[in-house]
């Protein structure tokens, strides 16, 4: 299996980039930040996809989202089992749910030969196992067996369950411990697990059965006490019923006595009201009449207190204006005629001046029009002289003649206009104006505008007449109200005197009359009810009072409480005893479960022993090949101390130093890097049978010195003849 090429549409800093890969060694020497890790990450993402960024605003997807935007993804062409496939992916910025994946065969048609996870199909490893074998960086120096690798070493299928031996043994042991643990729950206490817990439950149930059997004996004793208490309570109940019958008769007599007392109380109330009204009670109509008269009288008196003529000041002002007397209708008509005559004469004189001024304006416009026409003829004639000589000369002559005529008319107009407009109005008009001003001045009215002054005088006269009428109506209304007040007061006084009522006594008379009628009615009704009650229950004479009923009831309550307690106790015991059949069945069921639990524990112990034996056989199959491969690659890479390395059962590295095996943590960073590389190459050698995959080396030799790096470089070149290697470095000194 090898990589052929890749196309990056958009991934990190790369956009529309293409890479071709050689079959052997591919070296990419780029400075930091030039995109080595980006390319390696792209290859891994094309094979296994990328997880959703969860809770991290700058996760893997956000980190490699195209810097310039656009399509996020690309394609990768691979050769596998002699055929060429193209893996095409498009990634979402945050979620793998929106990603797209398609695999194209050699003819460019979609196929499912590589499955949903191409890396799993191509390598037979999940992403974690792939990162621990074919994807080697300077940070990854851990050497032990990773999840998903042990399955392949054991010859299992690539899609097998991810259960490891350690996990299987752990699960089986945990399953065994569910039935009975190896340690006690507390010092000196019982073990935990289904078996001891079931044994404890069986013992607890047996103890519970013994207690309930004791309760079964107690139930018989309590039942006898309960029956005796019920018999005694029955005797008390019969005696109490007899005493309650006599007590009920006594209570009914008391009710009869109370009904008679209520009737007598109403009779006394009616007698007291009748004594307060020796002349009798007034009727409702009379009381209503007095009430209405009183309310109207109060309203009239209140109105009289605030009543006044509101326009008195305005009337006084008008009377003062016309202190010399109000002008008659005849004088007002003469004044109106004088105003009309004054306005007519004034308008005639003003019209003559307006006509003269209008005539002068008309002549001025005619002169201007003639002058404009003459100027137009002269202009057109001058323009046509050069083209149509006779016609042009004719127009010029016509314009000159019109101009001369206009001048003559203007001179004539000046001589015709004479100073005909008078300097002021005539003497007759001035006399009429003086007379009118004198008339209006008598009433305090300005005569600037004669029609307005006349209208004002007329309005003032009408206002004075209206105010005089309003005052007369006010005085008439006052007389009517005073007469009504006298009649109302007389009506109320006559009513009080008729029924011998004191001042304001009529206000309570209606209420007392109703109360008296009600009391008489209630007295008769209550006395009839008392007689009916006595007849109904056959009451003839007062019965004797019952003695000792309360003590008898108290004794009965004590018996009833004792019966309640015994009944509750008996019911509780019955519920407890009723559990005995269920508990006996439960003991049998728990004993059956206990037998099953002991069998399951034995099966788990046998399975653990068998699995451990199988594990010993399996490790013998892969430890020896892994050590052989490890030593072969270590020799190629110049690891002189490789012979001292031993592999543990989980492929953990141990090396001999000063006669003792040391852990891999005791190696230097350079030694750990070489050991990790050799281990991954050995894993690949044993995992992939027949077809070695490609290997990505992301600057894993940063901890090596020049001598060791030279040896490793030679080894990598030699390895490239066996497999495809993509080698990334950021330093020319580490370039192979």
Q: Last residue of a domain, which of 123, 138, 172?
A: 123
- Asked if the structure places residue 49 within a domain, the reply is yes
443 vs 327: CA distance, rounded Å = 10
Contact between 259 and 529 under an 8 Å Cβ cutoff? The reply is yes
Domain assignment present for 655:
yes
* End-of-domain residue from the set 70, 91, 123: 123
Same domain for 108 and 138?
Answer: no
Average pLDDT, the chain: 80
The proportion of the chain whose per-residue pLDDT surpasses 90, expressed as a percent, equals 12
Opening angle at CA 539, ends 537 and 540, nearest 5:
155
**Same-domain pairing of 136 and 77:** no
Q: Among 123, 142, 175, where does a domain finish?
A: 123
Q: How many residues does the chain have?
A: 736
Model pLDDT, residue 182 = 75
Q: Among 185-199, 235-249, 512-526, 580-594, name the one with the lowest average pLDDT.
A: 185-199
CA distance 151 to 176: 25
Is residue 7 domain-shared with residue 48, that is, in the same domain? yes
CA 65 to chain centre: 35
Q: Is 430 contained in some domain? A: no
- pLDDT, tens only, 681-729: 887 777 765 567 888 888 788 877 787 788 888 888 888 888 889 888 8
Q: 189: phi > 0 → left, psi -120 to 50 → alpha, else beta; which?
A: beta
Q: Give the pLDDT band (50/70/90) at residue 389.
A: low
604: closest CA among 175, 195, 165, 167? Answer: 175
**Whole-angstrom distance, CA of residue 301 vs CA of residue 308:** 13
Q: Residue 249: pLDDT above 60? A: yes
Separation of alpha carbons 645 and 667, rounded Å: 11
CA-to-CA distance for 355 and 351, rounded, in angstroms?
A: 6
Reported as a pLDDT band with limits 50, 70 and 90, residue 161 is: very low
Q: Which of 9-18, 126-135, 203-212, 566-575 has the lowest mean pLDDT?
A: 126-135
Please check whether residues 115 and 136 belong to one and the same domain: no
Residue 134: give the domain boundaries: 130-163+611-736
Comparing 731 with 49, the larger pLDDT belongs to 49
Q: What is the per-residue pLDDT for 87?
A: 96
Q: Give the pTM.
A: 0.41
**pLDDT tens, residue by residue, 168-190:** 888 888 888 888 887 776 655 66
Residue pLDDT, tens place only, 611-648:
877 777 666 666 777 778 888 878 877 777 767 777 66
28 Cβ contact list (under 8 Å, min separation 6): 36, 39, 726, 727, 728, 729
Q: What letter does residue 191 receive in the DSSP assignment?
A: B
Higher pLDDT, 198 or 414: 198
Rounded to whole angstroms, the Cα distance separating 608 from 26 reads 49
- Domains held by the chain: number: 2
- Residue predicted with more confidence, 351 or 32: 32
Same domain for 140 and 21, yes or no, is no
User: What's the CATH number where 44 sits?
Assistant: 3.40.50.300
pLDDT at 86: 95
426 in Cβ contact with 345 (< 8 Å): yes
Is pLDDT at 123 greater than 90 in this prediction?
no
Residues 35/14, Cβ–Cβ less than 8 Å: yes
pLDDT of residue 648: 65
> For the residues of 297-340, what is the DSSP string, one character each?
HHHHHHHHHH---TTHHHHHHHHHHTTT-PPPHHHHHHHHHHHH
21 and 135 housed in the same domain: no
CA atoms 658, 661, 666, 669: torsion sign: positive
pLDDT-wise least confident of 138-142, 200-204, 582-586, 628-632? 138-142
Residue with the bigger pLDDT between 339 and 185: it is: 339
* 6 and 99 both lie in a single domain: yes
Tell the residue number behind the tokens 């299996």, with chain if given.
1
């Amino acid at each position: 299996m090898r990589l052929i090429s890749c196309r990056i549409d958009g991934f990190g800093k790369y956009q529309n980039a293409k890479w071709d890969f050689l079959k052997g060694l591919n070296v990419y020497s780029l400075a930091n930040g030039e995109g080595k890790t980006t390319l390696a990450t792209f290859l891994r993402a094309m094979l296994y996809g990328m997880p959703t960024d969860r809770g991290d605003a700058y996760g893997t997807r956000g980190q490699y989202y195209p810097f310039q935007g656009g399509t996020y993804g690309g394609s990768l062409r691979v050769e596998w089992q002699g055929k060429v496939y193209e893996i095409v992916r498009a990634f979402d910025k945050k979620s793998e749910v929106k990603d797209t994946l398609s695999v194209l065969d050699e003819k460019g048609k979609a196929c499912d030969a590589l499955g949903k996870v191409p890396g799993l199909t191509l390598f037979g490893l999940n992403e974690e196992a792939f990162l621990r074998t074919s994807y080697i960086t300077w940070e990854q120096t851990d050497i032990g067996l990773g999840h998903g690798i042990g399955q392949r070493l054991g010859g299992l299928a690539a899609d097998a369950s991810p259960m490891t031996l350690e996990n299987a043994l752990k699960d089986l042991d945990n399953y065994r411990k569910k039935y009975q643990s190896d340690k006690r729950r507390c010092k000196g206490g019982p073990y935990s697990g289904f078996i001891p817990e079931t044994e404890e439950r069986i013992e607890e149930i047996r103890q519970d059965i013994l207690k309930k059997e004791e309760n079964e004996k107690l139930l018989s004793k309590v039942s006898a006490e309960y029956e005796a208490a019920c018999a005694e309570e029955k005797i008390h109940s019969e005696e109490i019923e007899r005493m309650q019958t006599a007590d009920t008769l006594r209570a009914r007599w008391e009710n009869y006595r109370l009904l008679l007392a209520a009737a007598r109380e109403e009779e006394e109330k009616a007698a007291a009201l009748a004594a307060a009204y020796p002349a009798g009670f007034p009727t409702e109509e009379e009381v209503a009449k007095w009430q209405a008269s009183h309310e109207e009288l109060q309203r009239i008196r209140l109105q009289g207190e605030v009543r006044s003529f509101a326009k008195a000041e305005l009337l006084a002002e008008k009377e003062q204006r016309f202190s010399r007397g109000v002008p008659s209708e005849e004088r007002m008509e003469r004044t109106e005629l004088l105003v009309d005559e004054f306005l007519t004469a004034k308008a005639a004189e003003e019209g003559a001046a307006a006509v003269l001024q209008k005539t002068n304006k008309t002549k001025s416009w005619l002169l201007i029009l003639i002058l404009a026409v003459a100027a137009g003829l002269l202009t057109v004639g001058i323009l046509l002289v050069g083209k149509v000589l006779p016609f042009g000369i004719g127009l010029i002559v016509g314009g000159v003649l019109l101009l001369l005529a206009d001048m003559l008319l203007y001179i004539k107009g000046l001589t015709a206009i004479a100073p005909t407009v008078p300097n002021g109005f005539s003497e007759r008009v001035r006399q009429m104006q003086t007379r009118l001003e004198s008339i209006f001045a008598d009433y305090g009215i300005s005569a600037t505008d004669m029609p307005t002054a006349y209208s004002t005088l007329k309005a003032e006269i009408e206002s004075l007449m209206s105010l005089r009428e309003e005052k007369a109506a006010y005085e008439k209304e006052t007389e009517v109200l005073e007469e009504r007040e006298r009649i109302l007061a007389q009506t109320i006084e006559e009513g009080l005197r008729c029924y011998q009522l004191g001042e304001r006594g009529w206000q309570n008379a209606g209420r007392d009359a109703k109360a008296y009628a009600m009391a008489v009615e209630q007295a008769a009704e209550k006395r009839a009810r008392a007689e009916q009650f006595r007849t109904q229950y056959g009451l003839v004479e007062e019965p004797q009072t019952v003695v000792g009923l309360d003590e008898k009831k108290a004794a009965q309550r004590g018996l009833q409480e004792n019966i309640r307690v015994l009944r509750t106790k008996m019911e509780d015991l019955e519920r407890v005893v009723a559990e005995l059949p269920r508990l006996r069945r439960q003991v049998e069921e728990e004993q059956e479960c206990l037998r099953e639990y002991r069998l399951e524990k034995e099966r788990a112990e046998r399975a653990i022993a068998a699995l451990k034996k199988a594990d010993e056989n399996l490790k013998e199959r892969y430890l020896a090949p892994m050590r052989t491969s490890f030593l072969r690659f270590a020799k190629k890479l110049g690891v002189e101390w490789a012979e001292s390395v031993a592999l543990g059962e989980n492929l953990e590295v141990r090396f001999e130093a000063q006669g003792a095996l040391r852990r891999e943590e005791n190696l230097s960073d350079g030694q750990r890097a070489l050991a990790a590389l050799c281990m991954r190459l050995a894993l690949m050698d044993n995992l992939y049978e027949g077809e070695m995959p490609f290997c990505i080396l992301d600057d894993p030799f940063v901890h090596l010195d020049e001598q060791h790096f030279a040896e490793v470089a030679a080894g990598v070149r030699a390895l490239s003849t066996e497999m495809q290697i993509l080698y990334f470095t950021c330093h020319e000194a580490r370039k192979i």
